[in-house]
Chain A
């Protein structure tokens, strides 16, 4: 699987994502500069975390105008897997590839810590390697991760099973205390109607190595690889 990790000015999880992806046999991840205009030949695209354009104006609002975004849109429309992590999720929302928006955390402070999440839907290319209802431990690190959407959008997301991850406690309960940022309905990650675009606030690439405190992120990337291989065969 050839994977493009888009490097926007201010991306800072680009090489982390690249290293995590390259730790899977058969995956080849490349950093692609945002001024490029083609993503031809890539089987999956990752928009990594960071502070694209310094988060100026609004997180992701400038990056969505980067030249590469036309190619990302095109790829998404043809069913290529597009994963947005943290700032990447914010960019996908700003670009209209995912519904809703991410606002300042409740409590206003940046939060970096391990967080439990419940897997809501395993029938997607990003979550097929998880078991439904599984509780994951993934790190979060954001100041603007409070998911918001209007009631109509929320209804649609739920009706179409597009919410893939919700913040939970260790037992999988969706409590208010377990919600680190005030996201509506504890939403931590959503996918597109077509299931091939996924944005999430937590950082799966940070828990792909037991030495770094966990491996719960691996199944997410594994799901993408499985999905790609299934499509190929």
Chain B
């Protein structure tokens, strides 16, 4: 597709041109039968992008139907609009969604990531919501070492973080949480998933439907240029050595323009001028016109010549398929055009009336007096092809044979784990993001979940994003179940109850049956988890074809979960608070090392079966913890994830530079198993000594297994005893390793 802009304005429709557009011969036959004639060049382009996986979900839609999407708090369901909307009480609601920008970030990390952030922000304010915070889930190949690959990965990592910072900081939205993992399965194909949440009043929910025959259709925002030509189709192919030639398919972002567009649109939506509104994201003008028409049960007719354009001499094909950023389509109630003009002139933004809503159900595009596209809108948006791909049979992974895992002295292993870039402090990343603008960030990045106070609504929200892709690679369904449980556990540790999930399904080429199995199993795992916790999936994104010349990525179904905290007094963080506080472990000490970061980081193996997960136990654990928090008994709470108990304890020491003395008691297990296993359903809490009997009484009622494991100390060491073995580390030394790991790799 890269060279299409060099194609003559009206080329003949040949099998080669059809193939270049990514349409299969069967899909082209469908085009012929819908139109009853040969498509124009422009129409071919329109079908190509609208029927790409990115826009149509043709490979994943049957699977996505498995998600639980309803619930008493759901105001706008997944798939209905640009983002789902959830009630948070007192007439307030939140709109949130995560979306990938993986392929653009692979070829142009800065702009790819920046426009990923810009795109998801538009999805939120299109709903009528004021965006209030961002999160990101990122994956890169290893950044350690002198290899060309590691250098490339460092460049991608630095570029992506700078791109997110550029866009989010400028537009003035805090990036308050996220996750970053490094693994060679992402070599050449990094993952960049951006999340945005906005707040709105129930009555402010805006719809992306072209309502009202005869209503004028306005184009507002930045002029259309040649950037991002057919990016949606580009995103729906595998990355190859030639992908660099696709750089024109990456858009260029202008966060300043988007800030103006955001303010202007929210000002406009507060009037009675808007009948429908839709952002121009993937597939730009094409997608926004046919989707609004399809949703409205109407048609839309526009004239390309009226579209504000940045470059001279663009063909209708280019204008239709451009993915220039910071543009919106607004269906205006007839007679209210002056309001649009007044507001967009105030904000110095281009606007133009480019067409009207019609009653014939057609997406019709004129180039002056010539009709260049005439397609039934519904056939593009809703009647695209649908594939039921073949899933390979799944062989459960063999359990880890511990006898093949040599014991490494925990004194040496813990600092090595803390220095593993996936576990190490991500301060280098979030220090580049303005995470405090909008003055609502009550818990800064680095704790289990970020906590944000939405002043205008007087509500406290928490958000976390999670996915352990190693578990997902070993057992996709189990990995996805754990991702949901971990996100919920992170929220519980911050004092929050989950209210909704948005997911980003990142997988390889679905034509490969093993990849399709991963997609299907992950969706089933997420569905199971969301049903267990009774949280609806409010929408999300599917990114397939995440392949590099060396193979598919590890399956990465990222879970972003949003929760609500009822009272500011319930906000809880992972850092220990005071020497003398007693430490309790909720859950089991555990012994599962399969798929653990200990086995990965210390032994270089991705092996074994991921840990077991019991949703009933998990739910009891979260509810018990929340009960304790509400009674004011919990001073700190931290979930045990990658690196197990030892890493969790060390991280809790770091926040306030306190020490801890912990004893796991008599055991027959190896010390490395005790310290680094990743058994699920475990939370370490600290409690005031004077409240420990009240705590124990509550815990006994909750039916959750627990034990007192030690105390926070004023000393400078973390000391862990297991059986007869005693291990000790200076906290400052561990903290240094934890904090310095990423800066020293990135800055040398």
Contacts and interface: CB of A to CB of B under 8 A. Distances in A.
Interface of A: 9-13, 15-16, 19-20, 33, 35, 49-51, 53-56, 109-113, 139, 141, 143, 203, 205-206, 208-209, 211-213
28 contacts: A9-B259, A10-B256, A10-B259, A11-B172, A12-B170, A12-B171, A12-B172, A12-B437, A16-B439, A19-B455, A51-B172, A53-B256, A54-B255, A55-B256, A110-B165, A110-B433, A111-B431, A112-B430, A112-B431, A112-B433, A112-B435, A139-B436, A141-B437, A206-B437, A206-B439, A211-B442, A212-B441, A213-B441
Given A51-B169, A110-B434, A141-B434, 8 more contacts: A9-B259, A12-B171, A19-B439, A51-B256, A54-B256, A206-B439, A208-B439, A213-B444
B347 interface: yes
A141 B169 contact: yes
A209 B442 CA distance: 10
A17 to B, nearest CB: 9
Contacts of A12: 170-172, 259, 437
B459 to A, nearest CB: 13
Contact of A9 (B348, B437, B444): B348
Contact of A205 (B162, B432, B439, B444): B439
Most buried by B among A10, A15, A206: A10
Interface in B312-361: 346-348
B254 interface: yes
Most buried by A among B255, B439, B440, B455: B439
B260 interface: yes
B437 A113 contact: no
Contacts of A211: 442, 453, 568
Contacts of B431: 109, 111-113
A11 B437 CA distance: 11
Given A112-B434, A211-B568, A50 B172 contact: yes
Contacts of A19: 439, 455
B438 interface: yes
B160 to A, nearest CB: 14
B170 A10 contact: yes
A203 B436 contact: yes
Contacts of B172: 11-13, 50-51
A212 B453 contact: yes
B444 to A, nearest CB: 7
B434 A209 contact: no
A213 B435 CA distance: 13
Nearest to B166: A110
Count class of interface residues, chain B: 20 to 34
A141 B432 CA distance: 8
Interface in B488-521: none
A88 to B, nearest CB: 14
Contacts of B432: 109-112
A56 B257 CA distance: 11
Nearest to B453: A211
A55 B256 CA distance: 8
B440 to A, nearest CB: 7
A215 to B, nearest CB: 12
Contacts of B436: 112, 139, 141, 203, 206, 212
A99 to B, nearest CB: 27
Contacts of A212: 436, 439-442, 453
Contacts of B257: 54
A206 B255 CA distance: 22
B255 to A, nearest CB: 7
Interface string B419-454: 000000000001111111111111010000000010
B439 A9 contact: no
Contacts of A9: 256, 259-260, 347-348
Most buried by B among A12, A13, A51, A112: A112
A141 B172 CA distance: 11
A53 B348 CA distance: 11
Nearest to A14: B172
Contact of B437 (A16, A35, A111): A16
Contacts of A213: 441-442, 444
Interface in B152-190: 162, 165, 169-172
Given A51-B169, A212-B442, A213-B444, A13 B254 contact: no
A33 B348 CA distance: 13
Contacts of B259: 9-10, 12, 51
A225 to B, nearest CB: 19
Nearest to B427: A113
A15 B266 CA distance: 15
A115 B555 CA distance: 40
A56 B256 contact: yes
B434 A51 contact: no
Q: Please list the 8 inter-chain residue pairs (A to B) with the smallest Cβ-Cβ separation, ordered nearest first.
A: A12-B172, A54-B256, A51-B170, A16-B439, A141-B434, A112-B434, A110-B432, A206-B436
A55 B347 contact: no
Nearest to A33: B346
Contacts of B438: 15-16
Nearest to B158: A109
A205 B171 CA distance: 18
B169 A110 contact: yes
B653 to A, nearest CB: 19
Nearest to B173: A12
Contacts of A56: 256
A207 to B, nearest CB: 9
Contact of A55 (B170, B430, B444): B170
A9 B431 CA distance: 25
B573 to A, nearest CB: 11
Contacts of B162: 109
Contacts of A33: 346
Contacts of A53: 256
A112 B433 CA distance: 6
B260 A13 contact: no
B262 to A, nearest CB: 10
Nearest to A143: B169
A20 B439 contact: yes
